Structure 1
Protein backbone atom coordinates (compact mmCIF):
# COMPACT_ATOMS: atom_id res chain seq x y z
CA UNK A 1 0.00 0.00 0.00
CA UNK A 2 2.32 2.77 1.26
CA UNK A 3 5.27 1.38 -0.72
CA UNK A 4 3.42 2.12 -3.95
CA UNK A 5 3.74 5.89 -3.48
CA UNK A 6 7.20 7.21 -4.22
CA UNK A 7 8.92 10.31 -2.90
CA UNK A 8 12.36 11.77 -2.36
CA UNK A 9 15.20 12.00 0.09
CA UNK A 10 15.32 15.18 2.15
CA UNK A 11 17.42 16.80 4.84
CA UNK A 12 17.92 14.55 7.85
CA UNK A 13 15.95 15.51 10.99
CA UNK A 14 17.68 16.60 14.16
CA UNK A 15 17.45 13.19 15.83
CA UNK A 16 17.54 9.55 14.69
CA UNK A 17 14.49 7.37 14.26
CA UNK A 18 12.81 6.79 17.63
CA UNK A 19 12.27 3.35 19.15
CA UNK A 20 8.89 2.93 20.84
CA UNK A 21 9.16 0.35 23.63
CA UNK A 22 11.99 -1.23 21.59
CA UNK A 23 9.94 -1.24 18.37
CA UNK A 24 11.83 0.35 15.47
CA UNK A 25 12.89 -0.29 11.88
CA UNK A 26 14.74 -3.61 11.52
CA UNK A 27 13.27 -5.20 14.65
CA UNK A 28 10.82 -8.07 15.09
CA UNK A 29 7.64 -7.51 17.11
CA UNK A 30 6.01 -10.45 18.89
CA UNK A 31 2.27 -10.12 19.51
CA UNK A 32 0.06 -11.88 22.03
CA UNK A 33 -2.65 -13.21 19.73
CA UNK A 34 -5.10 -13.44 22.64
CA UNK A 35 -5.36 -9.66 22.29
CA UNK A 36 -7.76 -10.24 19.38
CA UNK A 37 -8.70 -13.92 19.53
CA UNK A 38 -10.51 -13.32 22.80
CA UNK A 39 -12.85 -10.90 21.02
CA UNK A 40 -15.04 -13.61 19.51
CA UNK A 41 -15.96 -15.17 16.19
CA UNK A 42 -17.50 -11.98 14.77
CA UNK A 43 -14.08 -10.35 14.50
CA UNK A 44 -13.05 -9.16 11.02
CA UNK A 45 -9.43 -8.42 12.01
CA UNK A 46 -7.54 -10.80 9.66
CA UNK A 47 -4.06 -11.13 11.20
CA UNK A 48 -3.11 -14.81 11.40
CA UNK A 49 0.40 -14.64 12.86
CA UNK A 50 2.14 -13.46 16.01
CA UNK A 51 5.31 -11.84 14.60
CA UNK A 52 5.88 -8.67 12.59
CA UNK A 53 9.16 -8.00 10.77
CA UNK A 54 9.46 -4.21 10.63
CA UNK A 55 10.83 -3.05 7.26
CA UNK A 56 9.64 0.57 7.17
CA UNK A 57 8.92 3.26 9.74
CA UNK A 58 6.70 6.32 9.57
CA UNK A 59 6.36 9.46 11.67
CA UNK A 60 3.45 11.92 11.78
CA UNK A 61 3.69 15.27 13.53
CA UNK A 62 0.12 16.18 14.44
CA UNK A 63 1.15 19.82 15.06
CA UNK A 64 -0.75 19.92 18.36
CA UNK A 65 1.95 18.36 20.50
CA UNK A 66 1.18 14.76 19.52
CA UNK A 67 3.01 12.30 17.28
CA UNK A 68 2.02 9.10 15.51
CA UNK A 69 4.73 6.44 15.15
CA UNK A 70 4.07 3.76 12.54
CA UNK A 71 5.97 0.55 11.83
CA UNK A 72 5.28 -1.49 8.69
CA UNK A 73 5.87 -5.02 7.44
CA UNK A 74 6.42 -5.90 3.78
CA UNK A 75 2.73 -6.82 3.51
CA UNK A 76 1.63 -3.48 5.02
CA UNK A 77 0.59 -4.63 8.47
CA UNK A 78 0.91 -1.45 10.57
CA UNK A 79 1.92 -1.33 14.23
CA UNK A 80 1.00 2.16 15.48
CA UNK A 81 1.80 4.08 18.66
CA UNK A 82 0.52 7.56 19.52
CA UNK A 83 2.62 9.60 21.92
CA UNK A 84 2.85 13.08 23.38
CA UNK A 85 6.51 13.39 22.31
CA UNK A 86 8.56 12.70 19.19
CA UNK A 87 10.81 10.21 20.98
CA UNK A 88 7.85 8.11 22.08
CA UNK A 89 8.54 8.20 25.81
CA UNK A 90 4.93 9.16 26.61
CA UNK A 91 2.88 6.66 24.61
CA UNK A 92 -0.87 6.76 25.22
CA UNK A 93 -2.32 4.49 22.51
CA UNK A 94 -1.06 1.35 20.72
CA UNK A 95 -2.84 -0.39 17.85
CA UNK A 96 -2.12 -2.91 15.12
CA UNK A 97 -3.87 -2.49 11.75
CA UNK A 98 -4.10 -4.90 8.82
CA UNK A 99 -5.06 -3.92 5.24
CA UNK A 100 -8.60 -4.90 4.30
CA UNK A 101 -9.15 -3.27 0.91
CA UNK A 102 -7.37 -0.94 -1.51
CA UNK A 103 -8.78 0.87 -4.55
CA UNK A 104 -7.86 3.60 -7.01
CA UNK A 105 -10.35 6.34 -7.91
CA UNK A 106 -11.51 6.63 -11.47
CA UNK A 107 -12.03 10.37 -11.26
CA UNK A 108 -13.35 13.29 -9.23
CA UNK A 109 -16.73 11.64 -8.66
CA UNK A 110 -15.07 8.66 -6.96
CA UNK A 111 -13.05 10.95 -4.70
CA UNK A 112 -16.14 12.96 -3.77
CA UNK A 113 -18.04 9.78 -2.92
CA UNK A 114 -15.14 8.50 -0.78
CA UNK A 115 -14.91 11.84 1.02
CA UNK A 116 -18.61 11.60 1.85
CA UNK A 117 -18.03 8.15 3.37
CA UNK A 118 -15.18 9.52 5.50
CA UNK A 119 -17.39 12.31 6.85
CA UNK A 120 -20.37 10.09 7.69
CA UNK A 121 -21.44 8.89 11.15
CA UNK A 122 -20.87 5.26 10.20
CA UNK A 123 -18.80 3.27 7.73
CA UNK A 124 -19.39 -0.11 6.13
CA UNK A 125 -18.44 -1.99 2.99
CA UNK A 126 -18.53 -5.42 1.31
CA UNK A 127 -17.98 -8.12 3.92
CA UNK A 128 -17.97 -5.60 6.78
CA UNK A 129 -20.44 -4.77 9.54
CA UNK A 130 -21.20 -1.17 10.46
CA UNK A 131 -18.54 0.83 12.32
CA UNK A 132 -19.37 4.07 14.14
CA UNK A 133 -17.23 7.20 13.85
CA UNK A 134 -14.82 7.44 16.81
CA UNK A 135 -12.95 10.66 16.14
CA UNK A 136 -15.11 13.63 17.22
CA UNK A 137 -17.98 11.31 18.19
CA UNK A 138 -20.98 10.39 16.08
CA UNK A 139 -23.36 13.16 17.13
CA UNK A 140 -22.84 15.30 14.02
CA UNK A 141 -24.29 14.07 10.75
CA UNK A 142 -21.08 15.04 8.93
CA UNK A 143 -17.55 15.58 10.30
CA UNK A 144 -14.44 16.68 8.43
CA UNK A 145 -11.71 14.00 8.46
CA UNK A 146 -8.18 14.42 9.79
CA UNK A 147 -5.37 15.35 7.39
CA UNK A 148 -1.60 15.05 7.83
CA UNK A 149 1.72 14.23 6.14
CA UNK A 150 3.57 11.04 7.07
CA UNK A 151 7.36 10.77 6.61
CA UNK A 152 8.30 7.21 5.60
CA UNK A 153 11.73 5.65 6.17
CA UNK A 154 13.10 2.48 4.53
CA UNK A 155 16.41 2.59 6.43
CA UNK A 156 17.80 4.06 9.63
CA UNK A 157 19.73 6.99 8.12
CA UNK A 158 17.07 9.38 9.45
CA UNK A 159 16.29 10.80 5.99
CA UNK A 160 12.66 10.40 4.81
CA UNK A 161 12.47 8.27 1.66
CA UNK A 162 8.99 9.54 0.78
CA UNK A 163 6.09 11.51 2.16
CA UNK A 164 2.42 10.61 1.96
CA UNK A 165 -0.49 12.99 2.46
CA UNK A 166 -3.43 11.32 4.18
CA UNK A 167 -7.05 12.23 4.74
CA UNK A 168 -8.57 9.76 7.17
CA UNK A 169 -11.22 8.94 9.72
CA UNK A 170 -11.30 6.33 12.50
CA UNK A 171 -14.38 4.19 13.08
CA UNK A 172 -15.03 1.38 15.54
CA UNK A 173 -17.50 -1.16 16.84
CA UNK A 174 -17.90 -2.74 20.26
CA UNK A 175 -17.39 -6.47 20.72
CA UNK A 176 -18.19 -8.90 23.57
CA UNK A 177 -16.05 -8.65 26.69
CA UNK A 178 -15.55 -4.90 26.44
CA UNK A 179 -13.51 -5.38 23.26
CA UNK A 180 -13.38 -3.07 20.28
CA UNK A 181 -12.49 -3.48 16.62
CA UNK A 182 -11.30 -0.44 14.67
CA UNK A 183 -11.58 0.63 11.04
CA UNK A 184 -9.26 3.26 9.58
CA UNK A 185 -10.47 4.68 6.25
CA UNK A 186 -7.83 6.64 4.32
CA UNK A 187 -7.41 8.63 1.15
CA UNK A 188 -3.67 8.83 0.50
CA UNK A 189 -1.64 10.78 -2.03
CA UNK A 190 2.03 10.78 -2.94
CA UNK A 191 4.07 13.93 -2.45
CA UNK A 192 3.29 15.59 -5.78
CA UNK A 193 -0.39 14.57 -5.52
CA UNK A 194 -0.27 12.56 -8.80
CA UNK A 195 -1.18 9.15 -7.32
CA UNK A 196 -4.23 8.59 -5.11
CA UNK A 197 -5.62 5.48 -3.45
CA UNK A 198 -8.38 4.58 -1.02
CA UNK A 199 -7.41 2.27 1.84
CA UNK A 200 -9.39 0.42 4.49
CA UNK A 201 -7.51 -1.05 7.45
CA UNK A 202 -8.96 -3.12 10.29
CA UNK A 203 -7.31 -2.89 13.69
CA UNK A 204 -7.40 -3.82 17.36
CA UNK A 205 -5.98 -1.96 20.37
CA UNK A 206 -3.02 -3.48 22.22
CA UNK A 207 -2.04 -3.23 25.85
CA UNK A 208 1.60 -2.69 26.83
CA UNK A 209 1.82 -6.33 27.93
CA UNK A 210 0.47 -7.70 24.63
CA UNK A 211 3.62 -7.18 22.52
CA UNK A 212 7.40 -7.15 22.81
CA UNK A 213 10.34 -6.37 20.53
Structure 2
Protein backbone atom coordinates (compact mmCIF):
# COMPACT_ATOMS: atom_id res chain seq x y z
CA UNK A 1 0.00 0.00 0.00
CA UNK A 2 1.02 3.53 -0.73
CA UNK A 3 1.74 4.83 2.78
CA UNK A 4 4.16 2.08 3.75
CA UNK A 5 6.68 3.69 1.41
CA UNK A 6 5.35 7.22 1.59
CA UNK A 7 6.17 7.68 5.25
CA UNK A 8 8.65 4.93 5.92
CA UNK A 9 11.29 7.27 7.28
CA UNK A 10 10.40 10.93 7.48
CA UNK A 11 10.91 13.55 4.79
CA UNK A 12 13.01 16.40 3.58
CA UNK A 13 12.36 19.46 1.44
CA UNK A 14 11.64 18.84 -2.22
CA UNK A 15 14.02 20.58 -4.64
CA UNK A 16 12.89 23.70 -6.51
CA UNK A 17 12.86 22.11 -9.95
CA UNK A 18 10.42 21.62 -12.82
CA UNK A 19 7.67 19.41 -11.50
CA UNK A 20 6.92 15.94 -12.78
CA UNK A 21 4.10 14.86 -15.07
CA UNK A 22 2.77 11.60 -13.59
CA UNK A 23 0.58 9.47 -15.87
CA UNK A 24 -0.10 12.67 -17.86
CA UNK A 25 -1.25 14.48 -14.69
CA UNK A 26 0.08 17.93 -13.80
CA UNK A 27 -1.09 21.52 -13.23
CA UNK A 28 -3.65 22.66 -15.79
CA UNK A 29 -4.90 19.22 -16.77
CA UNK A 30 -8.09 17.29 -16.08
CA UNK A 31 -8.24 13.90 -14.37
CA UNK A 32 -11.16 11.61 -15.10
CA UNK A 33 -12.22 9.24 -12.33
CA UNK A 34 -14.16 6.01 -12.41
CA UNK A 35 -16.95 6.79 -9.94
CA UNK A 36 -17.37 3.09 -9.20
CA UNK A 37 -14.20 3.39 -7.12
CA UNK A 38 -16.38 4.85 -4.32
CA UNK A 39 -19.93 4.08 -5.40
CA UNK A 40 -19.32 0.34 -5.15
CA UNK A 41 -18.48 0.65 -1.43
CA UNK A 42 -21.22 0.11 1.15
CA UNK A 43 -21.23 2.45 4.14
CA UNK A 44 -18.22 4.51 3.03
CA UNK A 45 -17.94 8.18 4.02
CA UNK A 46 -16.04 8.99 0.84
CA UNK A 47 -18.21 10.37 -1.96
CA UNK A 48 -17.82 12.95 -4.74
CA UNK A 49 -20.47 14.76 -6.75
CA UNK A 50 -18.34 14.68 -9.89
CA UNK A 51 -15.97 12.37 -11.74
CA UNK A 52 -13.42 14.93 -12.98
CA UNK A 53 -10.65 16.85 -11.21
CA UNK A 54 -9.15 20.08 -12.53
CA UNK A 55 -5.57 20.21 -11.22
CA UNK A 56 -4.59 23.72 -10.11
CA UNK A 57 -1.66 23.00 -7.76
CA UNK A 58 0.95 20.32 -7.28
CA UNK A 59 2.97 19.24 -4.26
CA UNK A 60 6.27 17.38 -4.10
CA UNK A 61 7.81 15.52 -1.16
CA UNK A 62 11.20 13.80 -1.29
CA UNK A 63 11.61 11.12 1.35
CA UNK A 64 14.82 10.07 3.08
CA UNK A 65 14.86 6.75 1.19
CA UNK A 66 14.99 8.61 -2.14
CA UNK A 67 11.38 7.99 -3.16
CA UNK A 68 9.06 10.78 -4.24
CA UNK A 69 5.49 11.73 -3.36
CA UNK A 70 3.50 13.67 -5.97
CA UNK A 71 0.31 15.41 -4.87
CA UNK A 72 -2.20 16.95 -7.28
CA UNK A 73 -4.76 19.42 -5.91
CA UNK A 74 -8.03 20.98 -7.04
CA UNK A 75 -9.29 24.39 -5.93
CA UNK A 76 -11.57 22.67 -3.40
CA UNK A 77 -8.58 20.75 -1.99
CA UNK A 78 -9.24 17.28 -3.30
CA UNK A 79 -5.88 15.53 -3.44
CA UNK A 80 -4.74 12.78 -5.79
CA UNK A 81 -1.46 11.28 -4.59
CA UNK A 82 1.14 9.11 -6.30
CA UNK A 83 4.41 7.59 -5.06
CA UNK A 84 7.40 6.83 -7.27
CA UNK A 85 11.03 5.87 -6.93
CA UNK A 86 12.09 8.22 -9.74
CA UNK A 87 11.81 12.00 -9.55
CA UNK A 88 9.95 12.20 -12.86
CA UNK A 89 7.19 9.92 -11.60
CA UNK A 90 7.51 7.53 -14.53
CA UNK A 91 7.40 4.46 -12.28
CA UNK A 92 4.57 5.63 -10.00
CA UNK A 93 2.49 2.63 -9.01
CA UNK A 94 0.63 3.56 -5.78
CA UNK A 95 -2.26 6.03 -5.84
CA UNK A 96 -4.78 7.44 -3.38
CA UNK A 97 -7.56 10.01 -3.56
CA UNK A 98 -8.41 12.19 -0.54
CA UNK A 99 -11.07 14.79 0.22
CA UNK A 100 -11.16 17.19 3.19
CA UNK A 101 -13.34 16.22 6.15
CA UNK A 102 -12.49 18.99 8.61
CA UNK A 103 -10.00 21.81 9.11
CA UNK A 104 -9.59 23.60 12.45
CA UNK A 105 -7.20 25.95 14.21
CA UNK A 106 -5.91 24.73 17.58
CA UNK A 107 -7.32 26.79 20.42
CA UNK A 108 -3.96 26.99 22.18
CA UNK A 109 -0.70 25.11 22.70
CA UNK A 110 -2.41 22.49 24.82
CA UNK A 111 -4.88 21.80 22.03
CA UNK A 112 -2.04 21.47 19.51
CA UNK A 113 -0.16 19.10 21.82
CA UNK A 114 -3.30 17.02 22.39
CA UNK A 115 -3.83 16.57 18.64
CA UNK A 116 -0.27 15.34 18.19
CA UNK A 117 -0.73 13.00 21.12
CA UNK A 118 -3.86 11.57 19.49
CA UNK A 119 -1.77 10.81 16.39
CA UNK A 120 0.44 8.55 18.48
CA UNK A 121 -2.41 6.21 19.38
CA UNK A 122 -3.34 2.95 17.55
CA UNK A 123 -6.93 4.09 16.84
CA UNK A 124 -8.63 7.33 15.81
CA UNK A 125 -12.16 8.43 16.64
CA UNK A 126 -13.69 11.45 14.92
CA UNK A 127 -17.13 12.99 15.29
CA UNK A 128 -19.45 11.75 12.56
CA UNK A 129 -17.16 8.89 11.54
CA UNK A 130 -16.74 5.26 12.62
CA UNK A 131 -13.51 4.24 14.40
CA UNK A 132 -10.35 3.83 12.32
CA UNK A 133 -7.33 1.69 13.17
CA UNK A 134 -3.78 2.89 12.61
CA UNK A 135 -2.51 1.75 9.22
CA UNK A 136 1.15 2.50 9.83
CA UNK A 137 2.99 0.37 12.40
CA UNK A 138 0.58 -2.45 11.61
CA UNK A 139 0.39 -5.03 14.41
CA UNK A 140 1.97 -2.66 16.95
CA UNK A 141 -0.49 -1.21 19.48
CA UNK A 142 2.10 0.90 21.28
CA UNK A 143 2.07 4.71 20.90
CA UNK A 144 4.10 5.73 17.85
CA UNK A 145 5.28 9.18 16.72
CA UNK A 146 3.58 10.89 13.77
CA UNK A 147 5.57 11.20 10.56
CA UNK A 148 7.26 14.56 9.94
CA UNK A 149 7.82 15.93 6.43
CA UNK A 150 8.04 19.03 4.23
CA UNK A 151 5.97 19.55 1.10
CA UNK A 152 6.81 22.04 -1.65
CA UNK A 153 3.66 23.32 -3.37
CA UNK A 154 3.64 24.72 -6.92
CA UNK A 155 1.03 26.69 -8.87
CA UNK A 156 3.12 26.99 -12.05
CA UNK A 157 4.61 23.94 -13.77
CA UNK A 158 7.88 25.75 -14.58
CA UNK A 159 8.12 28.01 -11.55
CA UNK A 160 9.64 27.75 -8.09
CA UNK A 161 7.51 26.39 -5.23
CA UNK A 162 5.16 28.99 -3.80
CA UNK A 163 4.87 27.42 -0.36
CA UNK A 164 6.81 25.08 1.89
CA UNK A 165 4.51 23.29 4.32
CA UNK A 166 5.63 21.38 7.38
CA UNK A 167 3.42 18.45 8.32
CA UNK A 168 3.10 15.85 11.06
CA UNK A 169 0.69 13.10 10.08
CA UNK A 170 -0.63 9.64 10.72
CA UNK A 171 -2.69 7.32 8.51
CA UNK A 172 -5.61 5.18 9.65
CA UNK A 173 -7.85 2.74 7.78
CA UNK A 174 -10.98 0.63 8.08
CA UNK A 175 -12.42 -2.11 5.92
CA UNK A 176 -15.66 -1.46 4.02
CA UNK A 177 -17.65 -3.98 1.98
CA UNK A 178 -17.33 -5.38 -0.55
CA UNK A 179 -13.56 -5.84 -0.16
CA UNK A 180 -12.80 -2.14 0.05
CA UNK A 181 -10.86 0.19 2.30
CA UNK A 182 -11.46 3.71 3.59
CA UNK A 183 -8.58 5.85 4.83
CA UNK A 184 -8.31 8.68 7.33
CA UNK A 185 -5.29 10.98 7.25
CA UNK A 186 -4.74 13.20 10.30
CA UNK A 187 -2.36 16.12 9.71
CA UNK A 188 -0.95 18.93 11.81
CA UNK A 189 0.02 21.37 9.05
CA UNK A 190 1.87 24.68 9.13
CA UNK A 191 3.07 26.64 6.07
CA UNK A 192 6.23 28.65 6.52
CA UNK A 193 5.14 31.96 8.00
CA UNK A 194 1.56 30.71 8.44
CA UNK A 195 -0.70 29.35 11.13
CA UNK A 196 -0.93 25.77 12.36
CA UNK A 197 -4.09 23.88 11.41
CA UNK A 198 -5.44 20.42 12.15
CA UNK A 199 -6.65 18.62 9.03
CA UNK A 200 -8.67 15.44 8.67
CA UNK A 201 -8.96 13.90 5.21
CA UNK A 202 -10.97 10.87 4.09
CA UNK A 203 -9.69 8.82 1.19
CA UNK A 204 -9.49 5.58 -0.68
CA UNK A 205 -6.83 3.71 -2.68
CA UNK A 206 -7.12 3.98 -6.47
CA UNK A 207 -6.13 1.44 -9.07
CA UNK A 208 -4.39 2.85 -12.19
CA UNK A 209 -7.41 1.74 -14.25
CA UNK A 210 -9.71 3.90 -12.10
CA UNK A 211 -8.41 7.27 -13.37
CA UNK A 212 -6.90 8.86 -16.48
CA UNK A 213 -5.75 12.24 -17.74
TM-score by length of 2: 0.90
Q: Say whether 1:37 aligns with 2:39.
A: yes
TM-score by length of 1: 0.90
Residue 84 of structure 1 corresponds to 85
Residue 5 of structure 1 corresponds to none
Please tell me whether the aligned partners of residues 97 and 204 of structure 1 are also in contact (alpha carbons under 8 angstroms). yes
Q: Deviations over 1:122-178 (max 9, x none)?
A: 112110001110112142320111110000001112310011000000100011122
SS of equivalent residue, structure 2 residue 23: coil
Residue 73 of structure 2 corresponds to 72
Q: Deviations over 1:55-89 (max 9, x none)?
A: 00000011212111000000000010011121111
SS of equivalent residue, structure 2 residue 72: strand
The 5 A counterparts of 1:55-204 are: 55-192=56-193, 194-204=194-204
User: How many residue pairs get matched?
Assistant: 200
Q: What is the rounded CA distance, in whole Å, between the counterparts of 2:17 and 2:143 in structure 1?
A: 39
Q: What is the rounded CA distance, in whole Å, between the counterparts of 2:63 and 2:152 in structure 1?
A: 12
The verdict on how the C-alpha distance between 1:188 and 1:93 changes in structure 2, with shifts beyond 3 A counting, is: same
Q: What is the rounded CA distance, in whole Å, between the counterparts of 1:209 and 1:158 in structure 2?
A: 31
Higher deviation after alignment, 175-184 or 135-144:
135-144
Residue 19 of structure 1 corresponds to 21
Q: What is the rounded CA distance, in whole Å, between the counterparts of 1:125 and 1:32 in structure 2?
A: 28
Q: What is the rounded CA distance, in whole Å, between the counterparts of 2:71 and 2:15 in structure 1?
A: 17
Q: What is the rounded CA distance, in whole Å, between the counterparts of 1:107 and 1:13 in structure 2?
A: 33
Shift of 1:93: 1.1
Residue 209 of structure 1 corresponds to 209
Shift of 1:13: 5.0
Residue 7 of structure 2 corresponds to none
The verdict on how the C-alpha distance between 1:116 and 1:138 changes in structure 2, with shifts beyond 3 A counting, is: farther
Higher deviation after alignment, 165-174 or 78-87:
78-87
Structure 1 stretches of 4+ with a deviation exceeding 2 A read 12-15
